[in-house]
A and B are shown apart, each in its own frame.
Chain A
C-alpha cells in the first residue's frame, strides 16, 4: 500500500464548505409567528374521496391493529354500498404504521400530503397517537382515534372515539367499591396508559377510603411474572387492577393460576383484555375474571346483532368483535354524519358540525361532545365466561359525559 499517493487525494475536505453555505441561506418563520403551512388541501374534486386508514399491519402491534383495520374497512364498504358520503364514494388508503412511532408520523404525512385524504382513521397505542398529533395539527387534517386511552389530551384535530378515563377507569373503580373490594393491587405494563391510569386510581382510592397496597410495572412484552405474582399474593389485596398490555397478560395469568390464585380468591379487573385477547390467553386462565369496556360482543341491541353478523360474514364466523373494533367501526359513521350535517368535507365545517351528532351504535347510544371532541359512552363491566365471551354484569345506565381532564371530579384536582 502506498499511503502517499492516496493521501494526496485529500484535497476534497475544502469542498465540503460549499454545502454548508448553501444550507443556511434560506430562513423561514420563527416560532410563534403563526405563518405555518396552510397544509395540503384534501382532494374532493372527483366522484370519490380518499380516506386514510393508519394501522400497524406488521410488527408487534399488528395482532390488535389488524382487527381494527378490518372493522374500518367494513364500515367504509357498508357506507359505499349505501351511496357514499355527500354522493361521493370513499376510497380507503391503507398505510402500515409498522408498530413504530416515527413511521406512524411519516405515514400520516404521506396520507395527508400525497393521497390528500379527507380524514384519517386509526392508531392504537398512545405513543403512536402522540407521534402523529403534531402532523395532523400542522396540516389541519382530522384523525379519528378508536381506542380507550389515558385522557389528558384534547387536540383540535383529533376525535377520540374510544373511552377516556372517566368512562372506563372511574366506573370500574365505582364497581369495585360497590362490591366491597377496597384493597387494590395495581399491575401494568410500563407505558403511559397504565402509569396515568394508576395515578388516577390512587387519587380515587384516597378520596374514597380505598387502599392501594402495591403497584408494579412490567416492561412491554415481558413474560416473567413470578415475582410480581408473589408480591400480589403477599400484599393482602382484595382485587387486582390490571393494565397489562398484549402478550404480557398470557404470562401473567398463567403465573397467577400456578400460584393458586383464582377469580374467586382474588379477582382481577382488566382494562386491556377484550374478546380477541381472551381467545389468545385461554379461558382456562381467565374464566370468571372481570373487564371494563363500553362494548362487548354480547351487548344487546339490533345495531350490535347486525354489526357482529356483518363482521363475521366478512372475516369468518369464529372472529370475535371487541370494543376498539366497534369504536373504529362507528368512527367512520360518526364522521359521515358530521360531513353530511356540515354539507362539506371542509375540516373547519366538519368540526363545527360535530357537536351533538348522535348514533345508535352497537354499544348503545353515543353522542359527540363538541368541546372535547370525545364521545358520550356507557361504561360496562363484564365477566369472562368459559366460552370466551364476556357478559355484562353492570353498566352505568346512561352514557357518561367525557371528561378527559377529570375536571368534574374533586378528588382529581391535584392530578394535572
Chain B
C-alpha cells in the first residue's frame, strides 16, 4: 500500500515538473499557435538566474524567493524580444517558426556556454527544501511539495489572468478570431507580445524550480522541450485544464511503469502511447470550438 501511495506522490511530483515546463507553452503554443523550440532555453535562463543570484546573495532561501520573480522577468523579456525580432514576422508560417526558434536555441545554448562555461553548475537548496516529511509511511520530499505548490499557483495565476483581466479577455479574443479582434480595436501585436512575455516568463519560473531537482547546464532545456510540447498537444490546444490533466496523468503513468519495468521501457511506452493516442484523437483531450488555427 505504501508503495502505491509513494509512487502516486512520485507520479504527481513528476507531473508537477511537466506542468510547470508546459504551462508557458499553453500560452505561446496553445493560445498563439507558435512552436517555440527556444522555450527550453528560457527554462535554462531561469535556472542560471537562480545560480547568479545565489552567488551574490548568501541566504539560499532568500535568493530562491527573489529568483522566482526575477527569472520570470529575465525569461519573459527574452521571449518578448524573440517575438519582436523574429516570431511576429512568421505568424503565417508556424512550421518555419519551429525551425527558426531551433536556430535561436542553438545560439542561446552557446551563449550560456560562453558565459557560464560548459560544465554544469549547481545551486544550494535552502535547508528547508532538502528534507522530507513523513505522513503515514509515505515520504513527501519538501522540494517536490514546493514544486507542486508552485505549479498549482502558476496555473491559478494564468487562469485568473485569462479569465478576469482585460489582457486575458484580449488574449482570448485574439485566439478566437484574430481579424475580428483587430477590427474591434484590439492591438493584436501588443497582445501577442504580452502573451509571449508571460508564456516565456513561466518557463523562467520552471527553470528556478528545476534547480531544486537537477543540474543547471547549457543543454538542460533540450531534455524537457519535447515532453513539454507533448503535454500541450495531448491536453488539447488552447485549453489549460487539458494540459493540467495530461501532465499529472503522464507523470503517474511514467512513475507506475518505471516502478514495474525500467526507466527506458517506461519512457518508450509513454511516448508510443502518446503517438497512438494522437492517432485516435488528434485534437487532444479538450478542444476549443473555434475556427481552425493556422
The answer to the question of A228 belonging to the interface, with a C-beta cut-off of 8 Å to chain B, is yes
Q: Does B213 lie within 8 Å of A255, measured CB to CB?
A: yes
CB-defined contacts of B10 to chain A, threshold 8 Å: 226-227, 230
From B118, B142, B215, A258 is in contact (CB under 8 Å) with B142
Find the residue from B119, B131, B217, B255 having the highest chain A CB count within 10 A: B119
Interface size class of A (residues with CB under 8 A): 20 to 34
Q: Does B213 lie within 8 Å of A254, measured CB to CB?
A: yes
Q: Does A250 lie within 8 Å of B215, measured CB to CB?
A: yes
The answer to the question of B200 belonging to the interface, with a C-beta cut-off of 8 Å to chain A, is no
Please report the C-alpha to C-alpha distance between residue A281 and residue B120 in the assembled complex, in whole angstroms: 8
Please report the C-alpha to C-alpha distance between residue A184 and residue B125 in the assembled complex, in whole angstroms: 29
Q: How far is the CB of A334 from chain B (nearest CB, A)?
A: 28
CB-defined contacts of B212 to chain A, threshold 8 Å: 254
Please report the C-alpha to C-alpha distance between residue A224 and residue B17 in the assembled complex, in whole angstroms: 10
| Chain B residues numbered 116-157 whose CB sits less than 8 Å from any CB in chain A | 118-122, 124-125, 130-132, 139, 141-144
Please report the C-alpha to C-alpha distance between residue A216 and residue B260 in the assembled complex, in whole angstroms: 11
The answer to the question of A63 belonging to the interface, with a C-beta cut-off of 8 Å to chain B, is yes
- Please tell me the number of chain B residues within 8 Å of chain A, measured between CB atoms: 38
Q: How far is the CB of A94 from chain B (nearest CB, A)?
A: 16
Q: Does A254 lie within 8 Å of B132, measured CB to CB?
A: no
Q: Does A226 lie within 8 Å of B14, measured CB to CB?
A: yes
Q: Does A226 lie within 8 Å of B214, measured CB to CB?
A: no
Q: Does B255 lie within 8 Å of A63, measured CB to CB?
A: no
Please report the C-alpha to C-alpha distance between residue A219 and residue B219 in the assembled complex, in whole angstroms: 16
Q: How far is the CB of A118 from chain B (nearest CB, A)?
A: 30
Nearest 9 pairs of A and B residues by beta carbon: A223-B214, A258-B141, A250-B215, A227-B258, A251-B214, A226-B10, A63-B119, A282-B122, A247-B215
State the B residues within 8 Å of A (CB): 3, 6-7, 10, 13-14, 17, 118-122, 124-125, 130-132, 139, 141-144, 212-215, 217, 219-220, 223, 254-255, 258-259, 262-264, 267
Report 12 cross-chain contacts, Cβ distance below 8 Å, ordered by A residue. A60-B219, A223-B215, A228-B258, A230-B7, A234-B3, A247-B217, A251-B215, A254-B214, A259-B141, A260-B139, A280-B215, A282-B124
- Beyond A258-B131, A280-B119, 15 extra complex contacts between A and B, CB < 8 Å: A216-B263, A217-B264, A219-B267, A224-B213, A227-B7, A231-B259, A250-B120, A251-B214, A255-B141, A255-B213, A257-B130, A258-B141, A276-B119, A281-B215, A284-B124
